[in-house]
Amino acid sequence: MDINNFKEPLEPELSLTIERLNKFLNSHSFNITYPFDVEVKINVTNIKPMITIGEWSDVIEYTISLEKTQDVTGKIILNHLSKIEQTQDYSIKRGEHKNTYFVLYEIKNNMNSILREFLKYFNINNYVDCTRIINKISGNHTKNINEGLLNEGKYSSVIRQVVKDILKIFKHQKEGDYQLPEEISGGDMVYEFPQLKSSFTVNLSMRLNDEIDTIDVDGAYYPDEDTIDIIIESNPNLDRETLEELHLLQ
């Protein structure tokens, strides 16, 4: 830990506890379920005096490492983001909110809550703040996903359009089967993009399930049929805030 820039001395007991905590965290993973289900690991990097709620306090800074996910939509979003920003290593500034980084900030906010509760078992009640997110997921795709579609930066507009169309259907939270782009365009039967060699369709299946907390997504790509199947299950009682946040992804 860097202690050269501290404005006030840290409590020795806290510093020693953080060192022991990191040894434990090296072999421990956490699961975040929103904005999609993802397994993460964290590492405490610093303890920094900051003004929090009008008073100086020692804030624990840490790094999130995105390790793996089976969520197809999550993989698409992370790949799209890494191609736009040309990096898989993101600095997250305190108090800043960018629409481009919307998913990362939601991951950070959820992990902040989880970590604060977790630290209570170590008798640590300090505020926490994620300052860096490392995306280790992009590039590790299964055979069910079109790797060419996700890996090439020139295809980012394709991904953006398909995700936007899916969210237009999802925000209404109605059960049913939909074929895209026909359901959106009202005329076009297939997606056609100049950077792709062939057209394709998306078969979207929407289901309501009150046994899940928020949203579950699964999908598969069938190159012989030029078809992508996506199944989205959502809790019918999603709060308004969650729906509004999904709307920002369009």
The amino acid at residue 135 is N
My answer on whether 55 and 106 are in the same domain is yes
Half-sphere exposure in the Cβ direction for 175 (13 Å, CA): 7
User: Is 49 a member of any domain?
Assistant: yes
Question: In this predicted model, what pLDDT tens digit does every residue of 84-125 receive, in sequence order?
Answer: 677 888 888 765 555 446 788 889 989 999 999 988 887 888
Residue 125: which of 8, 14, 5 has the closest Cα? 14
Are 124 and 17 within 8 A, CB to CB? yes
pLDDT score, position 148 = 44
My answer on whether 114 and 16 are in the same domain is yes
Structurally, the chain folds into a number of domains equal to 2
pLDDT score, position 81 = 78
Q: Which of 88-92, 141-145, 206-210 has the lowest mean pLDDT?
A: 141-145
pLDDT at 207 over 50: yes
pLDDT score, position 140 = 41
Relative to beta strand 30-32, strand 55-68 is unpaired
My answer on whether 106 and 169 are in the same domain is no
My answer on whether 126 and 166 are in the same domain is no
User: Is 143 a member of any domain?
Assistant: no
My answer on whether 16 and 130 are in the same domain is yes
Q: Which of 28-42, 53-67, 143-157, 190-204 has the lowest mean pLDDT?
A: 143-157
My answer on whether 130 and 166 are in the same domain is no
Question: In this predicted model, what pLDDT tens digit does every residue of 33-90 receive, in sequence order?
Answer: 888 899 999 999 888 887 766 677 888 999 999 999 888 778 878 877 777 677 888 8
Of 68, 100, 135, the position where a domain reaches its end is 135
Give a three-class secondary structure readout of the chain.
Answer: CCCCCCCCCCCHHHHHHHHHHHHHHCCCCEEECCCCCEEEEEEEEEEEEEEECCEEEEEEEEEEEEEECCCHHHHHHHHHHHHHHCCCEEECCCCCCCHHHHHHHHHHHHHHHHHHHHHHHHCCCCCEEEEEEEECCCCCCCCCCCHHHHHCHHHHHHHHHHHHHHHHHHCCCCCEEEEECHHHHCCCCCECCCCCCCCEEEEEEEEECCCCCCEEEEEEEECCCCEEEEEEEECCCCCHHHHHHHHCCC
My answer on whether 237 and 172 are in the same domain is yes
pLDDT score, position 39 = 94
Are 41 and 58 within 8 A, CB to CB? no
pLDDT at 225 over 60: yes
- Identify the domain containing residue 100 by its residue range: 12-135
Using a pLDDT cut of 70, give the percent of the chain over it. 76
Token pair for 123 = 């008798």
Average pLDDT, the chain: 76
User: Is 243 a member of any domain?
Assistant: yes
What value does the mean pLDDT take over residues 173-184? Answer: 85
User: Is 156 a member of any domain?
Assistant: no
My answer on whether 173 and 128 are in the same domain is no
My answer on whether 103 and 199 are in the same domain is no
